Chain A
C-alpha cells in the first residue's frame, strides 16, 4: 500500500515521523527502504547518545525482526564495529593532537637537530628526572624482585592483588597527598582507589556519577583530553562554561547557573561540575572563596564536584594551593558530592608508570570505583616500587623542594623573555605551563586567525604550543606553552623563535 508520506520527514525523523506513525504500513515500507539505503553506505551513524524525548531520530527505533534479516541477507562488507568505535577511529584533527604528532616527526634536539620543532605542547615535567633516576639506581640495587622470597619475593608480587591497589600503596599515597595536595588534610587511605593513571580515574567517576546522555559542566579553557576521556565510552556530554580573562579565567557562578539552566531546557540532566585545580591550561589556583561558592552551587543543584588536582604539587608561586578536600572537611553534609582525582604523572614525573587515584568521601562511589578499577589496575611490581619511593620521606621532601625551585627557574626565564617581547601571560603560580596571550599577533580577533598563528608557530617558528581553541577558550589568541620539557638553554631559543613570528605578524602586507 503506497501512500504519499513526506519522504524528507521520514528520513530525518522529525515531525514527519509523527505523521508516519499514523500510517504504519507506509512507515514500515519506507523504514525498510531507508535502512537498506543506509546499510549500503559505509557512513557511520551520527553518534547520537541522548535519547531525548522530543527527537524521533530513526536510529533509536526498536529493531524489528526484519531489521536483523536485512543485516544478514544483503550484508555487504565485514562485520561492523559499534557506533562508539566509529567515532573513536576518526583521525584526530584537533590542533592539540596535530601538534603532538608533528613534533614526533620532526623533534628538536639542541645538539643533534636544532632545526626541529620544540615541544611546548606536552605538559610533562622533565626537570627532576635526574633525582628519581638517582633514587632508582641507589635503591633498586636491592631489586624490586628479590629471589629470597619474603615480602618482595615474586610470589608476593605476582599473585592476584586487590583491584583497588595494595593497602601499603594507599597508605603511601595518602601520606604523599598530605604533603603535596593539602597539609591541612589528613588523607584517609581507605578513601583511595588506585587506578592506572588519572585518565581512567576521571572516566570511572563519570561512569559512577552520570548516566549515558547526562551532562557535566566544565569551565573553559580545559584540557583537550577531557573531550575524549570523559565522553568516549561513558556517553556523557560535556557542557563548556566559558570563563573570561577579565575574571582571570576563574569560573563565575552566574555562568555556571546559566549553563545549568540552558542544559535543563535542552532536556539534559547535569550531574556534576569538573574543575581542574590547579588549572590546566591556565596554571592558576582557585581561591578559597570560589571553592566555597562552587560547593554552594553544587549543593543547591544537588550535583557532584569532580576536582582534578593532578598539578597540586607543581606549584612554583608564593600562594598556597587549597584543595577541595580542605573545604569539604569543614562542611560535613556535603561530603557525598565531592571527589578528587590525583596522580603521580605530573608531580613525580613518572607518567609511564601509570599511577593515579580517586579520593572520595562517598561510600557507594568508593565501592563502585573499586570494582571498576579492575579494568584499570596498576601492576603490582610498580606499586611496590612506589611504596618504597613515596615512603622515603627524606627523598620526597628534597624532591618537592628542588622541583618547585627548578620549575620557578625556567618559568622566570620564560616569562622574562615574554615580557621583552611585549607579550602578556596569566600569572598563575602553578602547573607546568604558561597561559600566554598572543592576541596581539593574530590578524583578526577570531578562532581562524588563532589557528593561522598556530600554524605559523608550528611550521615557521617550529614550536608546538597548544592554541586556546583546542581547549575551548572563548577568547581567541591564547596559547598554552609547557616549559618543563625545556632545559634553561632552550628557553632563549624559544623566545627568539616567537620573536621571529611576531615580526612576521606585525610586518605590513
Chain B
C-alpha cells in the first residue's frame, strides 16, 4: 500500500491578496506591457509601440525646469539654513501649513478665483489614488456601493473597491447625448443598487471627465447635487484635470456651485485633486482631499498617516506654488499648449475619417471607432484594440476597460509625447485607414 506523504500545507494569504480586484489584468494594463517590451523611440526604435494609453502631461516640463533652475533654494536647505532639521523630523499628518496654503491658492487660481479654498480643509495624501481610496474607506463600509458614471478611469476598480470591500454600481451614459449624466441614469443606478441589496453611500464623478476629456456642465452638476441631497448621500468630485481645461471659462467646479449657494448642504461634498496631471508631476505623489465636512477632514487627516507626502517634497512645492506669478503663467501656457495638441490630434483624426467626442479638457480624446468594428460588441472592440496594438503599434485604451456601455470607443492620450511622435502616430492611423478603404 502506498504511503501517503502529506505535503506541508503552504501558508495562506488573505482574500484581498488573492483577489483579482486590483484589476491589473485588464487590457488597459496589458497594453502597457506591450509598450514596455517594445517602446517607440524616435532614433533607436522608430517602429516601436507608441504609448497613447498613459495620461501624463509632458508638454510643460520646460517651465518647471526653468523655475527650479532659477529658484534653487526650493530644493536645497543650505548649510545652517533653519529648514533642514525641522523638515527631516516633520511627519505631522496636518502637513506643512505653507504647503496647504499654496495648494489652496493654486486650486483657487485654476478655478479663476470663482471658488475659495480654506487651507484648514486641505488634507494631503501621496497621490489622488490614495485620496480616492481614503475617501471610500471613510464614506462607505464593506459591501456598500458608490455610483460612478461610465465610462470611467479603469484604476477606480482598484482604488475604490480592492481593499475597501466597496462595490461600484455604474451610472450608464451613452453617446446619444455626448455621454452626459442624466437624472434617469442616476435613478436607474440607484434602483439597480437597491435591487442588489446594496446600500448606496455616494456618487463619484470625475470633472473634467476621464476618459471623455470633457467638462461636466453646470446644469448636470446641479442635477447631481440635487440627487445626492434627496438621497442623503455623498458626492465625491475628482477634479484632477481641472487645470487641464483648454479654456478656463468652460470649467465649473462643484465648489463654485456650493459657494454660490452659500454652502448649503455642503457637508456631503468632497473634492479630490492632485498635481500629477495639471502640473505634470506624477512622480512627486501629491494629492489632496478637500472636504466641506469637518468629521471627514479630521478622519481623513488621521488616515493620511498611511500615505504622507515627504516633507522634502512639501517644502519644494510650497515655495513653487506660492509663487503666484509663476503659477498663473504656468496655468495659462499649459492650457494653450494642451489645446494646440488637442486640435492637432482632432484634425489629424478627422483627415483619416475618424470622429471624436467634442472635448474641452484633459490629456486625451475620446475616439469613435465603432464604424470599424467587425462585430458591434465587446469582442469586436477587443479585436480592433489588438489590431491597433500589434499592427499599428499604438497602445490606446479600449472603452470596455473603462466600462463603456457602447463598444467601439477608445481613449487616446496626446500629451505624453513630443509633437513629432504624435505626427508619427497620426501617420500610422492614416495609413491604416487608407488601406482599409481599398
Contacts and interface: CB of A to CB of B under 8 A. Distances in A.
Interface of A: 62-65, 67-68, 71-72, 75, 78-79, 81-85, 88-89, 124, 126, 129, 132-134, 136-137, 140-141, 143-145, 147, 149, 153-155, 157-161, 196-197, 199-200, 203, 207-212, 214, 228-229, 232-233, 235, 271, 302-304, 333, 336-337, 345, 349-355, 362, 364-365, 368, 371-372, 374-382, 385
A265 B298 CA distance: 38
B120 interface: no
Contacts of B310: 196, 352-355, 378-379, 381-382
Contacts of A379: 126, 283-286, 309-310, 312-313
Nearest to B302: A88
A137 B90 contact: no
B64 A158 contact: yes
Contact of A89 (B141, B202, B299): B299
B79 A134 contact: yes
B312 A353 contact: yes
27 contacts: A63-B197, A72-B231, A72-B232, A78-B293, A79-B234, A81-B299, A82-B137, A83-B141, A137-B81, A145-B65, A158-B64, A160-B283, A196-B126, A196-B308, A207-B14, A207-B16, A211-B14, A352-B90, A353-B310, A355-B310, A362-B11, A371-B24, A375-B159, A375-B306, A378-B126, A379-B286, A379-B313
Interface stretch (B66-74, B239-247, B352-360, B389-397): B66-74
B428 interface: no
Interface size bracket, B side:
35 or more
Interface stretch (B40-48, B53-61, B216-224): B53-61
A154 B61 contact: yes
Interface string B69-111: 1001001111111001101111100000000000000000000
- Chain A CB count within 10 A is highest, among B24, B201, B202, B308, for B308
B420 interface: no
Contacts of A154: 61, 64-65, 68
A385 B311 CA distance: 13
A375 B130 contact: yes
A302 B58 contact: no
A79 to B, nearest CB: 5
B341 interface: no
A375 B133 contact: yes
A67 B197 CA distance: 10
Contacts of A82: 137-141, 144, 201
Given A141-B76, A159-B58, A381-B316, A81 B311 contact: no
Nearest to A65: B194
A72 B233 CA distance: 9
Nearest to B92: A352
B267 A84 contact: no
B232 A71 contact: yes
Given A207-B163, A371-B158, A380 B283 contact: yes
Given A72-B230, A89-B298, A160-B54, A140 B89 contact: no
Contact of A143 (B76, B87, B137, B293): B76
Contact of A364 (B13, B54, B81, B302): B13
A377 B131 CA distance: 12
Interface of B: 8-18, 22, 24, 54, 56, 58, 61, 64-66, 68-69, 72, 75-81, 84-85, 87-91, 126-127, 129-130, 133, 137-142, 144, 158-159, 163-165, 194, 197, 199-202, 228, 230-234, 267-268, 280-286, 293, 295-296, 298-299, 302-303, 305-313, 316
Contacts of A345: 91
A33 B373 CA distance: 56
Contact of A84 (B56, B77, B137): B137
A145 B23 CA distance: 34
* The 4 nearest A-B residue pairs measured at CB: A380-B283, A352-B311, A147-B69, A137-B79
A141 B76 CA distance: 7
A85 B138 contact: yes
A78 B267 contact: yes
A372 B68 contact: no
A160 B56 contact: yes
Contact of A136 (B76, B89, B141): B76
Contacts of B228: 79
Contacts of A378: 126, 285, 310
Given A137-B79, A144-B75, A379-B285, 9 more contacts: A84-B138, A88-B303, A89-B299, A160-B282, A196-B285, A229-B305, A271-B12, A271-B14, A381-B284
B261 to A, nearest CB: 15
Contacts of B299: 81, 85, 88-89
Given A155-B58, A211-B15, A368-B13, A129 B88 contact: yes
Contact of B9 (A145, A159, A302, A365): A302
A213 to B, nearest CB: 11
A386 B235 CA distance: 39
B65 A153 contact: yes
Contact of B78 (A67, A68, A72, A137): A137
B303 A208 contact: no
Contacts of B284: 157-158, 379-381
A502 to B, nearest CB: 31
A78 B199 contact: no
Pick from B8, B10, B138, B305 the residue with the most CB of A within 10 Å.
Answer: B305
A199 B232 contact: no
A89 B234 contact: no
A376 B58 contact: no
Contacts of A349: 88-89
B88 A353 contact: yes
Nearest to A84: B137
Contacts of B163: 207, 233, 372, 375
B278 to A, nearest CB: 12
The CB with the most chain A CB atoms within 10 A, among B56, B66, B68, is that of B68
A377 B232 contact: no
Contacts of A374: 127, 129-130, 158
Nearest to A352: B311
B60 to A, nearest CB: 11
Contacts of A137: 76-81, 84
A203 B199 CA distance: 27
Given A133-B85, A140-B77, A352-B91, A208 B13 contact: yes
Given A379-B285, A382-B312, A304 B11 contact: yes
A78 B185 CA distance: 24
